[in-house]
Structure 1
Amino acid sequence: MTDVALENLTLSRWMASTSSMDVLTLGELILPGAHNSGVDKKATYAAPGVAHWVACQNNSFYDQLRNGARALDARVEYDVDPRGVGTFWFQHNGVKSSRSLENLVMQLIRFLEENPDEFVLVDFHELNSGNTAFDHQEFNRFLLTHLGPRIIPYSNRYLSLGQLKEVSGVQRVWLAAQQHPDLYHAWFQPKIAHLWSGIGDTSIKELEAHIDRVMQRPPTGSNPWSLSATSYTIALGPVNIKEQLNQWFDPGTGHWALNCSVINADFFEDSRLVINCRTANLIKSRQRPK
């Protein structure tokens, strides 16, 4: 199979349509990421008028995947209702959305059934206690029960995409989370390091300076890492920086994309981030020693 021309590319299967990438391992990929993927404009929130302040994406998990995101930044809170029913909800700085872990799993399975040769990194960046302690045991049981054979085991983490396809027709999900005794280590990869500016209300100028610092000495190694390419204002919340994403991560004019692992962005599909990551992976695969 040859690489599909850009003008014929379908974003929902951009990885499968880019066969040159099959020589790369998961740790070598350059992935477009959806920052705070469970907090989107189409979700509902208990507190009125907070969507503009907390929502970091336009659409649900399924649409994020169909639009090309391949790394989902997942921040989860565990709550138990008065009936004693526990639920894992997605949240942003403690503000819960109507998206639950069940929503994520169902939509991820639907997407992979439609696009069986796409690979998805689910980066559980936060596992927080809500009105009770986080239930790691139930979290572990739920994911292994429902994703089971779709999970890429730790023992296969160094395989290339092509090798993973040969090993299994369904192992397509990389789960990453902070190590815990109740999380089965054979199925959970190490926590993904997030490199962000450290400034809560990061301006575009401050963000560019932060990325420039990271790019001077980007992380190395086999484990993915996440570059926070996000800007925020106290008054308006997450900022849509599509023009900057297009410029900064264009592999045709600069090196930033080629030095990245996960580019974690808000409202990613408004930009050319997916296309730029695909182009960077093509370049990287051609530069890889035979």
Structure 2
Amino acid sequence: MDANFSDRWMDNTPGIYKLRIDELILPGTHDSGADREAPKMMLPNEITQDVPVRDQIMRGFRVLDLRVELFPRQPIGHPRRFQLYHLTASGRTVADDVLGALNAFYANPRRQNEIIILNFHQFKNFTEASHEELHALIDQTIGHRLIPYSQSYLTLEQLRQQMPGKSVVISYNRRSGDGHWPGVEQQWIGENYISTSTLKVFMDEASSKPKRPYALRAIQCAKYTGLYVPDDFSDKVDLWFASKDSESYIQRFHIINTDWSTRSNIVLNCMHANQFRARAKG
């Protein structure tokens, strides 16, 4: 996909406005804050993405898997107080590398209709007070862009009409609050060292289970190699999720989280697949 188009693919996908957010087929990045360009050095087994969140959303990824560590020695309000981590912190911050990146992304008015889901997936060193502090940071920085869970029944067209400028979903795995959505249901096989064929069998079984209405659900299409590093099987991702028609395998899914996400054609396939899902809705 042309880089000049991937930043606003949702707004240019015919029929997608008929769907609710939970009905969409969305490309996501697994361990979104563990990228090769991160300011802190990480071990090879921690690095799962080539580019930072800023570039992930520019290239069309619409669901971010965020694992947040509290650094209590940093003063309240300091950007490095909440950092993203995999096994260790990457140096990426929630304040600048996620929330600030979103505000910069939406500064372009042509991107106002791009829906982005921030799935706050795991928390390290957190207390009740730090959860409240993170909620406050989110609301202070991008609160004006948030789609409350009470409006989850609206289609994209209804959101555009009734809530212009609202384009971000906060999915909070621990608890919902302040209108935040419940955590994304993570369909994960439960182990890292598996073959691609074993992963495919798991995905077949997971995708056959009905999804609750309005719930966000993600398939974890990721695994490690025998060398204990995130595997790049982009060729299989392109094969499995190729969108050809209304019967394509990708139609069985909603959020598809991958490692090395920008190496595959998953964004283009999701864009194509949403058109068939919208037609099926009528």
Q: 1:212: Cα distance to partner?
A: 1.8
Q: SS of the residue aligned with 1:62?
A: helix
Of 97, 100, 104, which aligns to 1:106?
100
Of 208, 213, 229, which aligns to 1:221?
213
Q: 1:224: Cα distance to partner?
A: 1.4
Deviation string 1:163-213 (CA, Å, 9 cap, x unpaired) is 111123210000001344xx6x24210111101111122332221121122
Q: Say if 2:55 is the partner of 1:63.
A: yes
Q: 1:227: Cα distance to partner?
A: 0.1
Q: Say if 2:265 is the partner of 1:272.
A: yes
CA distance in 1, matches of 2:147, 2:12: 21
CA distance in 1, matches of 2:190, 2:119: 19
- 1:158–1:186 distance in 2 versus 1, CA, 3 Å: farther
The residue correspondences of 1:129-148 to structure 2 (distance < 5 A) are 129=125, 135-148=130-143
Matched with 1:88 is 82
Q: 1:279: Cα distance to partner?
A: 1.1
Cα root mean square deviation, aligned: 2.2
Letter in 1 for 2:147: I
Q: Say how many residue pairs are matched.
A: 276
Q: 1:83: Cα distance to partner?
A: 6.2
CA distance in 1, matches of 2:212, 2:183: 15
Deviation string 1:12-70 (CA, Å, 9 cap, x unpaired) is 100011141001000100100011111111103355xx1x2111111111100011100
Q: Say if 2:18 is the partner of 1:26.
A: no
TM-score (norm 1): 0.88
Deviation string 1:227-250 (CA, Å, 9 cap, x unpaired) is 000121252511111100101011
Matched with 1:248 is 240
Q: SS of the residue aligned with 2:181?
A: coil
Q: Say if 2:235 is the partner of 1:235.
A: no
Is contact 1:23–1:285 with CA below 8 Å preserved after alignment?
A: yes
- 1:127–1:7 distance in 2 versus 1, CA, 3 Å: closer
Is contact 1:77–1:128 with CA below 8 Å preserved after alignment?
A: yes
Is contact 1:152–1:173 with CA below 8 Å preserved after alignment?
A: yes
Q: 1:215: Cα distance to partner?
A: 2.7
Q: Which of structure 1's runs of 4+ aligned residues deviate more than 6 A?
A: 6-9
Letter in 2 for 1:227: I
Q: SS of the residue aligned with 1:97?
A: strand
Of 63, 66, 70, which aligns to 1:74?
66
Matched with 2:276 is 283
Query: Gaps (5+ residues) in structure 1?
Result: 1-5
Deviation string 1:87-115 (CA, Å, 9 cap, x unpaired) is 1111113x110101112100011112222
Is contact 1:35–1:266 with CA below 8 Å preserved after alignment?
A: yes
Matched with 2:158 is 163
Letter in 2 for 1:177: Y
CA distance in 1, matches of 2:129, 2:228: 31
Matched with 1:263 is 256
TM-score (norm 2): 0.91
Deviation string 1:106-140 (CA, Å, 9 cap, x unpaired) is 0011112222111101111112217x777111001
